[in-house]
Amino acid sequence: MTEPLTAPVPTAATDLTLWRGAARVLLQNWRGDSTIPSQGLYPHQWSWDSAFIAIGLRHLSVRRAQRELETLTLAQWGDGRIPHIVFNPAVPLGAYFPSPDFWRSSRAGAALGAPRHIETSGIVQPPVHALATWLVHRFDPALSRRRGFLERLRPRLAAWHDYLTIPRDLGGGGLTAVVHPWEAGMDNSPAWDAPLSRVEPAPAGSYRRADLDHGASAERPTDLDYGRYVRLAADYRDAGYRDTAPRAFAVEDPCVNALLIASEHALADITAELGGDRSPHERRAARLTDALVARLWSPEEGMFLSRDLGPDQLLPARSAAGLVPLLVPGLPAHVVDTLVRTAEGESFGLGTLPLVPSYDLRDPAFDPSRYWRGPAWFNVNWLLERGLRLHGRTDEADALRESVLRAASASGFAEYVDPYTGAARGTRAFGWTAALGLDLLAARRSGQRLPAPREGAAPSPAATRPGARERTAA
């Protein structure tokens, strides 16, 4: 039995149409205890998708939003990692690749505490989960307390952050690293071309690409790139998913680390809500912020770059990942100002294009249609909208919010869109597009604003942390 969806809906006709369309997507993609990203192409539960989906789903059903995160974190490994896919055993193996029989998590990951009765992948995705948990709690604190939601989630989130900040500090500089492009979320970004060039691809006949059954080849990764992804995943699996094993790919990514910082602030709030000491999390967030600026900030490029840990150098590729640190409280003022100028410049077109692209418009590697090599993604623009608002750029945030809402509705809640035209690309009726559209619409309707930091001062953690003024629904 499922609970009714009783949240209030907007009254304006266009808003009502968008609201109903987004809600329909989330209802159709709901699988009883979690939400698939889309029909066909993504038939299982994905980690950061579920976090974004929970943020929007709270506007329809707080119980479902809580269950989304609870289900995902039940698949957590003993070493703390939250896997990037939790497989539905009812889905045929051939429906998606790499499938459970490729990852072999319960066997290959047994020494690291992989679940025995749940099959997962062995890699991770960006850590949005504590932020999502806090936003879901804030929407209905009374229900959250009655159900013990934070009590269940907090130890899982703490173990997740410990995993990212201790064994995954592969560079020794205080940041978490990714060992596969899929872990960075922006899977097919040109930012990975240089480190991937060192990887020998898996033979083409050794696997079958199920993604091409549901998506146009011109909008998906090339066979060469996919072969390298398969090789990296197979090598990691064959090493027992140990982070101490030699690897061909290890990168510190600014988006992943920015989301970890935002979630560490949220974990401080969660801990304080439960009567604990928030200061260890605030100190870790501060250390991560310092390391982010020290290791990944490029004054010459006016944005954050990824660091290739092989040669230990910054990668020159300019992806939207380098703008996402706008989400971080306490960034130096000159860094915030420069990031906004870069976002508004010719490379990313904030304020002039419908949405910010995933890669530098002026770079020869830019492709407006191919997966993460240029199309605009709704989660990236949601993060940028939140970052702009956090740092007091209200007009820019309002304009971006309206653009996201128009593009989400017009594209049929597409997975991603052409950044110039807004034309739909990838799959349609995509979960996080619908969910984040709901969230932005609800915020606009309620007049929500995040307070701006005082000029020349670090933001107050209690006043400016994302979600600090989230409205509460009875």
* Residues that are catalytic: 187, 415
The Cβ of residue 216 has, within 10 Å, a number of other Cβ atoms equal to 11
How far are the Cα atoms of 336, 376, 389, 433, 458 from residue 453, in angstroms, in the given order? Answer: 12, 29, 10, 29, 7
The C-alpha atoms of residue 35 and residue 61 are separated, in whole angstroms, by 13
Six-digit token string for 192 = 């990975």
The Cβ of residue 127 has, within 10 Å, a number of other Cβ atoms equal to 28
Query: What letter represents residue 149's amino acid?
Result: F
List Cβ<8 Å contacts ≥24 apart for 290-293: 290/174, 291/173, 291/174, 291/175, 291/257, 292/175, 292/254, 292/257, 292/258, 292/261, 292/325, 292/328, 293/331, 293/332, 293/335
Nearest to 282 by CA among 336, 334, 329, 333: 329
Query: Rg of the Cα trace of the chain?
Result: 20
How far are the Cα atoms of 209, 378, 403, 417 from residue 425, in angstroms, in the given order? Answer: 19, 12, 17, 5
